[in-house]
């Protein structure tokens, strides 16, 4: 383990007293499904109700949980993924986003030690805790157990290298008496405090759909849920103890910014205007992707395809992120003017980048799970159908097959894929399909995506922090299109 990955349980470095003080706490689970998200958003809501400014983070690549964090805290939640963006970028993004907050809550992913591989912690919640020297609050599903909960915590302590499990919350307890048994066992065996519990309550279950939690942007009834969670957490969790644990985090050594270095920030008028689709159908964007485009000199213009918006005027590029186009396929199909605008923009050579849901939207047709087929943009000669089974899930490293608006041929970037749809090229296009990437995953290598002319699209959600040149290259391509457009 490198010096930069020392955790809370290790000696302080020389000169650490001059480090950056940021109160922070990782909310980790003993496994998936133990209630990390419910507890995280409940803690955020309860602490905000106390008047604290809370910054949310999510370990791993997930887009959906951060929408809940953002809706509660009023501050954009950020992903922290050591595999996709690298350790230095994790620290930079954390320090940048947590500035001005009273404390940061970092929601874990899967179980505490679950990451890219079964043989080490890379990409796991534990990896993030170690990189940020953050104390861990471990969530245990204590249903149908008592002293065994202590064995689970003890096992996690045995593997916690470079960070400390500072406290425990028992979820799904049956009663106050059950919670007391858990506390007595864990505190006796493990020597860490149980700072609270939540009693089983089916009314606190967050609705799910095939891609996980429903994005907060789609729902109008969030406030009552948040209020209920805040009240329940305030009743049975020691919030003062949670704040104290967050404040116990040691200083972080300051590092010069690399992603957002002042020397590389564009100054002066925007080099280009990039249209960004953002609504119920398209809302999966890593905030840093958008901010790195701005850092490189882009002005972002947001619009809502499902609400009948046309492509904004005087734009030089188009970004179509992921989301749920299959849920809003009828609305997207009815917006004929926008579909025509996009086809005309592509014909004119405007740089267009589409990920997952955006990729689906650019195809000729989308068949939803009810068997209905909806006409999409028609820019990509393929049809998409929704499946009943997960088609793809996991980390991806891509290598560009050809020059594109984001990557030069041979350049690499990292990202993540998660979708149920299957894309089928039209028979007359299949043999000469212009693949965008060679994609490497735990299943081996294969070719994926579409790159033709100024259009780049694929199922992989790329994180620009994995290769910051992507943002600069794209803005430069849009600026070149702008110059040609204004001649």
Q: In angstroms, what CA-CA distances link 474 with 48, 69, 228, 348?
A: 38, 29, 44, 16
Which tokens sit at 270?
Answer: 């925007």
Classify 122 as helix, strand or coil. Answer: coil
Return the bridge partners of 441, or none.
Answer: 444
| Packing angle, helices 239-247 and 36-49, rounded to 10 | 100
**Where does residue 320 rank: exposed (0-12), middle (13-18), buried (19+ CB within 10 A)?**
buried
Q: Which residue has the tokens 């033709």?
A: 452
Instruction: Give the separation between CA 316 and CA 359, rounded to whole angstroms.
Output: 19
Query: What letter does residue 301 receive in the DSSP assignment?
Result: E
Helix (H, G, I), strand (E, B) or coil at 23: coil
Contacts of 446 (CB under 8 A, 6+ apart): 438, 439
As a three-state string, the secondary structure of 143-161 is CCCCCHHHHHHHHHHHHCC
Full DSSP string of 379-424: -EEEEEEE-SS--EEEEEEEEESS--SS--TT-EEEEEEEE-EEEE
CB 4 within 8 A of CB 229: no
SS3 category, 270: coil
Q: Which residues are catalytic?
A: 356
Note the Cα 348 to chain centre separation in Å.
33
Q: How many CA atoms lie within 13 A of 220 on its CB side?
A: 0
| Cα-based torsion angle of the residue sequence 303, 307, 313, 319 in order, rounded to the nearest 10 degrees | 40
């Amino acid at each position: 383990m490198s010096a930069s990955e020392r955790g809370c349980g290790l000696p302080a470095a020389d000169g650490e007293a001059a480090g950056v003080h940021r109160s922070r706490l990782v909310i980790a689970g003993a496994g998936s499904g133990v209630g990390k998200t419910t507890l995280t958003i409940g803690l955020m809501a309860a602490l905000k109700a106390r008047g604290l400014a809370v910054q949310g983070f999510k370990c791993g690549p997930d887009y959906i949980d951060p929408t809940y964090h953002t809706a509660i805290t009023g501050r954009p939640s950020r992903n922290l993924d050591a595999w996709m963006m690298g350790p230095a970028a994790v620290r930079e993004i954390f320090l940048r986003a947590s500035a001005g907050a009273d404390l940061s809550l970092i929601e874990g992913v899967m179980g505490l030690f679950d990451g890219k591989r079964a043989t080490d912690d890379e990409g796991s919640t534990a990896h993030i805790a170690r990189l940020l020297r953050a104390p861990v609050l471990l969530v245990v599903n204590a249903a149908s157990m008592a002293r065994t909960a202590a064995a689970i915590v003890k096992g996690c302590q045995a593997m916690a290298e470079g960070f400390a499990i500072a406290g425990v919350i028992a979820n799904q307890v049956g009663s106050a008496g059950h919670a007391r048994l858990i506390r007595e066992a864990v505190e006796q065996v493990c020597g860490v405090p149980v700072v609270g519990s939540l009693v089983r309550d089916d009314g606190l279950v967050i609705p799910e759909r095939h891609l996980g939690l429903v994005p907060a942007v789609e729902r109008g009834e969030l406030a009552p849920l948040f209020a209920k969670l805040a009240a329940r957490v305030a009743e049975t969790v020691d919030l003062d103890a949670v704040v104290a644990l967050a404040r116990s985090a040691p200083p972080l050594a300051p590092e010069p910014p690399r992603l957002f270095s002042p020397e590389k920030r564009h100054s002066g008028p925007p080099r280009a205007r990039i249209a960004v689709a953002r609504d119920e159908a398209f809302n999966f964007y890593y905030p840093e992707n958008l901010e790195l485009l701005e850092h490189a000199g882009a002005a972002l213009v947001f619009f809502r395809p499902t609400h009948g918006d046309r492509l904004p005027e005087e734009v030089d590029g188009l970004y179509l992120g992921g989301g749920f186009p299959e849920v809003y396929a009828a609305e997207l199909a009815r917006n004929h003017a926008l579909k025509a605008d996009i086809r005309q923009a592509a014909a004119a050579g405007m740089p267009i980048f589409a990920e997952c849901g955006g990729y689906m939207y650019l195809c000729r047709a989308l068949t939803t799970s009810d068997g209905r087929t909806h006409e999409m943009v028609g820019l990509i000669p393929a049809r998409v159908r929704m499946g009943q089974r997960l088609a793809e899930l996991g980390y991806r490293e891509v290598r560009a097959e050809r020059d594109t608006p984001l990557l030069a041929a041979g350049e690499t970037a990292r990202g993540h894929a998660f979708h149920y749809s299957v894309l089928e090229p039209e028979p007359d296009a299949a043999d000469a399909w212009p693949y965008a990437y060679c994609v490497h995953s735990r299943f081996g290598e294969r070719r994926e995506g579409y790159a033709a002319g100024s259009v780049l699209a694929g199922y992989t959600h790329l994180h620009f922090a994995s290769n910051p040149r992507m943002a600069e290259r794209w803005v430069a391509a849009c600026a070149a299109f702008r110059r040609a457009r204004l001649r």
